Structure 1
Amino acid sequence: MSDDKIKKALQETGIGDMITCEQAFAVADKAKVSRGAVGDYCTRNRVKIRGCQLGCFK
């Protein structure tokens, strides 16, 4: 269920195979899921995280 909401939110924002942390946070808010759920979805679906606010992903 969460995956469907996340996928829809990503599609609506035009995000493909790369996302920034800021965008991931916005997707989580839009889909009403946790930020961790968005991170897990991105890992499973090979969506790269860039522009990490903590500097973990460049």
Structure 2
Amino acid sequence: MSDEKIKKALQEAGITEMISCDQAFAAAEKALVSRGAIGEYCNNNRIKIRGCQLGCFK
């Protein structure tokens, strides 16, 4: 169920291939899921994380 909420939130934001941390945080809030769930969804669906606030992804 949360995958569908995440998918919808990302689609509404126009995210298909890349996402920034700020966008991921906003999508988590909109979908009412954890930030970790967004990260897992992105990993499983080959959506790259860019602009990481911790500098982990560039």
TM-score (norm: length of structure 2): 0.99
Unaligned runs of 5+ in 1: none
Amino acid at match of 1:13: A
CA RMSD of aligned residues (A): 0.3
For residue 24 of structure 1, give the secondary structure of its aligned residue in structure 2: helix
Amino acid at match of 2:4: D
1:31 aligns with 2:13: no
Equivalent pairs counted in the alignment come to 58
TM-score (norm: length of structure 1): 0.99
Question: Which residues of 2 match residues 9-24 of structure 1 at below 5 A?
Answer: 9-24=9-24
| Deviations 1:1-58 (CA, angstroms, capped at 9, x unpaired) | 0100000000001111100000000000000000000000000000000000000000
Runs of 4+ in 1 over 4 A off after TM superposition: none
Amino acid at match of 2:11: Q
Unaligned runs of 5+ in 2: none
1:3 aligns with 2:3: yes
